[in-house]
Amino acid sequence: MRGFRGGMMGGGGFRMGRKFASGDLQLVILALLVEQPRHGYELIKLLEERSGGFYVPSPGVIYPALTYLEETGLADVESEGTKKLYRITESGRRLVEENQTMIDMTLGKLEKIGAKMAHVRKIFDPESRNGDRDEDGFPEDKSEVATARMLLKSALRLRYPWSKDEAKRIAGILERAAGEILAGGRSGE
């Protein structure tokens, strides 16, 4: 089917940004409908949850995608008062099966981003710290240095895994920083 191979899944990578190509979003929605019938709002919340808040599709994106899936026979809709419940059709199931690898990759990457977002939130949540020492063994410190250390660790985790060239670049930055820190102590003597 045309339109289902662009953007995030068709390219094999997860493009940075917070948007899906429309065909990719439609496939992800269908995959979520395979799990169980859902309302549009449930789909928005589920994608937000799985991505740790990184990807929160607006109603203006979700509902046109659902309408398209209904019009093309990939999903059926059942009215429940003012709400609509969407169910995947047999055609929709076949399309999901044909694109399962790409769907799994995309949902996996969304969940990986969600885990990274949760970790970053934990780092910056003062309630999550225990004892007098942090996880690296430093005494509890609420100074600018502690904040900078947390930012550095977070940046390293978010960039990982890195290529050989990227590892070399990062190592150079860290070595220069260590040198400046050590040199700064001597200049005050």
Q: Give yes or no for residue 189 having a pLDDT over 60.
A: no
pLDDT for the residue 33: 97
DSSP string, 45-110: HHHHHHTTTS----HHHHHHHHHHHHHTTSEEEEEETTEEEEEE-HHHHHHHHHTHHHHHHHHHHH
> Residues 137, 168: one domain?
yes
Structural domain includes residue 20: yes
Kindly report the backbone phi and psi dihedral angles of residue 51, in degrees, each rounded to the nearest multiple of 5, phi listed first: -100, 10
Residue-range definition of the domain harbouring residue 170: 124-187
> Residues 89, 132: one domain?
no
> Looking at residue 84, which CATH number applies to its domain?
1.10.10.10
The whole-angstrom separation of Cα 105 and Cα 112 is 10
End-of-domain residue from the set 115, 149, 179: 115
End-of-domain residue from the set 115, 148, 176: 115
Structural domain includes residue 151: yes
78 pairs with which residues across the strands? 85
3-class secondary structure, 10 = helix
Structural domain includes residue 2: no
The whole-angstrom separation of Cα 78 and Cα 67 is 12
The whole-angstrom separation of Cα 111 and Cα 150 is 22
Structural domain includes residue 183: yes
**pLDDT band at 19, cuts 50/70/90?**
low
* Mean per-residue pLDDT, 52-70: 91
For residue 39, which of 95, 94, 80 has the smallest C-alpha distance? 80
> Residues 132, 110: one domain?
no
pTM for the predicted model, two decimal places: 0.57
> Residues 82, 128: one domain?
no
Structural domain includes residue 52: yes
Q: State the chain's maximal CA–CA distance in angstroms.
A: 77
> Residues 138, 71: one domain?
no
pLDDT for the residue 159: 78
End-of-domain residue from the set 96, 115, 134: 115
Q: Give yes or no for residue 44 having a pLDDT over 80.
A: yes
**pLDDT band at 98, cuts 50/70/90?**
very high
Tokens 């859902």 belong to 38
88 pairs with which residues across the strands? 75
> Residues 165, 143: one domain?
yes
What percentage of the chain exceeds 90 in pLDDT? Answer: 33
Q: Give yes or no for residue 186 having a pLDDT over 70.
A: no
Q: How many domains does the chain have?
A: 2
| Average pLDDT over the chain, rounded to an integer | 79
Q: Provide the token pair at 114.
A: 């969600």
> Residues 105, 129: one domain?
no
Asked whether the bond before 161 is cis by omega within 30 degrees of 0, the reply is yes
> Residues 131, 69: one domain?
no
Structural domain includes residue 1: no
**pLDDT band at 5, cuts 50/70/90?**
very low
> Residues 74, 134: one domain?
no
> Residues 22, 109: one domain?
yes
Q: Give yes or no for residue 124 having a pLDDT over 70.
A: yes
156-160 long-range CB contacts below 8 Å, 24 or more apart? 157/116, 157/119, 157/120, 158/116, 158/120
Tokens 């429940």 belong to 80
> Residues 62, 94: one domain?
yes
Q: Give yes or no for residue 115 having a pLDDT over 70.
A: yes
What DSSP designation does 138 have?
P
> Residues 109, 129: one domain?
no
